[in-house]
Structure 1
Amino acid sequence: MRLDKFICKSTHFTRAEAREAISSGRVKINGWYDCHEATQVHENNVMTLDGEILQARPSRYLMLHKPAGFVSSNVSGRYPSLFNNLTIDNLISDDANNLDLADVENLHIAGRLDADTTGLVLITDDGRWSFNVISPKSECEKVYRVSLRDPITDDAINQLVNGVLLRGREELTLPAKLTVVTEKEVLLTITEGKYHQVKRMFGAVRNKVVALHREKVGPLNLDIPVGQWRYLTEEEVGYFYEE
């Protein structure tokens, strides 16, 4: 973990405040001063701030039911930021866990969704855990409910299941699973997450996605109302740790 991130996880400092503490010589690693914010620190290191030993708080793992119209980012642009919305509405504030605005800054999304896509979003401050969620090597299945402009055809199903070539790519998408709900609605299961992948996959078979909803990640089913969140249980967190 980067030193500045470790300080944020051990205090209520923002990233900027952590970097200032490092550059001003207030931080030591194993008794030595270190002025590099990107220095990698490990569990067996001893970090101190102003002479006090730092202990990183436990990592946090949340499930959110993302509404449409928000970007999965800390930065606002054309659409309002999902994190900005969460902060303003105090959706991620829990006195029992000392979760405040500075803490929200250090959370990130494990598998983003487009602004107009709804559904299950996982949020954490554990980089290794989120890597296991999003890495194709983990073969973590994501299930999307897809509404289409045109009826799905048998030929399109065959192509999607076996892999399609996305524009700008040289390799086929990994094999997918597809369940037909109605002629214009399907459940698509994939284990990778390229940019706009689901929409591009259906574009490759000459169809168009008109609505997209992620309802499952690995064994986790979306079980909360739109705009709400909850902490994952210890068992649910363990689903995405390697044996």
Structure 2
Amino acid sequence: MRLDKYLAKSSGLSRKEVKRLLHADEVSVNGEPERNPARHIKEGDEVSLNDRPMERPEPRYLMMNKPDGVVCANDDPTHPTVLALIELPRAEEMTIAGRLDIDATGLVLITDDGKWAHRATSPRHKTHKVYLVTTADPIPADAVDKFAKGIKLDSERFPTKPAELTLLSDNEARVVIHEGRYHQVKRMFAALGNRVVELHRESVGEIVLDDDLFPGEYRHLTEDEINSL
């Protein structure tokens, strides 16, 4: 990791502030003054700022209960963003692993570990996702078999992979998918002539949305949750 990135992540300072401190000879590596922001910091190197040792920055892993009306984006000119709800240093540098539509709610995973985010979202890893769905019209019983066989989506060459549909009431169902196509759940119901009016993600892989989180709240993932993906 570059020295300037190391300092920014471990101190919460901006890159501009870090650069100023480097030029002021307030940074040392292994007891020697260091001005080069591009110096590579290896495992075991000791970095100090104003003679205060800086702990090596560790990746952060969060789950959030995304509210309706909030977008999964780093920046948006008209709507609040998921990252804007996070009161942590450098939250704007974090990655949203598996996005939800603006009107969808529920589990969103957020991290600054790019490799972990890729594992959570890559189709190759076949991470299953569970959604609670409310539709505009009643869901026919034969939809269960159609989801299990795969559904041909508009403008797509191949049908979806088999998905599990569990009917909860006339207009409610739980859906488990094993891929992540664009607006997939909504488009699967649209292909059957129905419309999703509420979509709530309950889990991604073995990570289940914490019932104690109100909309807009978040918490750090446990070690077991992190390692499950």
* Range class of TM-score, shorter chain: 0.7 to 0.9
Deviations 1:118-143 (A, max 9, x none): 11111111111111111122121110
Aligned to 1:212: 199
Task: Tell me the amino acid that sits aligned with residue 222 of structure 2.
Answer: T
Deviations 1:40-79 (A, max 9, x none): x7966979899x9986411111111111110011212332
Question: Which is further off, 185-194 or 159-168?
Answer: 159-168
Name which of 105, 120, 138 aligns with 1:133: 120
RMSD: 3.4
- Would the aligned equivalents of 2:126 and 2:178 in 1 still touch at CA under 8 Å? yes
1:126 and 1:42, CA in 2 relative to 1: closer, same or farther beyond 3 A?
A: farther
Q: 1: distance between equivalents of 2:42 and 2:123? A: 27
Q: 2: distance between equivalents of 1:208 and 1:190? A: 18
Aligned to 2:216: 227
Deviation at 1:156, TM superposition (A): 2.6
**1:123 aligns to 2:120 (yes or no):** no
- Equivalent residues, number: 221
**1:142 aligns to 2:125 (yes or no):** no
Task: Tell me the amino acid that sits aligned with residue 78 of structure 2.
Answer: R
- Would the aligned equivalents of 1:14 and 1:105 in 2 still touch at CA under 8 Å? no
**1:165 aligns to 2:145 (yes or no):** no
1:208 and 1:56, CA in 2 relative to 1: closer, same or farther beyond 3 A?
A: same
Q: TM-score, normalization: structure 2?
A: 0.78
Q: 2: distance between equivalents of 1:65 and 1:74? A: 17
Aligned to 1:61: 61
Q: 1: distance between equivalents of 2:127 and 2:226? A: 13
Deviation at 1:104, TM superposition (A): 0.9
Q: 2: distance between equivalents of 1:171 and 1:2? A: 44
Aligned to 2:227: 238
Gaps of 5+ in 1: 27-32, 93-99
- Would the aligned equivalents of 1:147 and 1:212 in 2 still touch at CA under 8 Å? yes
Gaps of 5+ in 2: 26-34
Aligned to 2:9: 9
Aligned to 2:74: 74
1:191 and 1:8, CA in 2 relative to 1: closer, same or farther beyond 3 A?
A: farther
**1:110 aligns to 2:104 (yes or no):** no
Deviation at 1:165, TM superposition (A): 2.0
Deviations 1:150-195 (A, max 9, x none): 1112333222222112222212212111111012100001122222
- Would the aligned equivalents of 1:8 and 1:106 in 2 still touch at CA under 8 Å? no
Q: 2: distance between equivalents of 1:152 and 1:220? A: 28
Q: TM-score, normalization: structure 1?
A: 0.74
Provide the identity percentage. 41
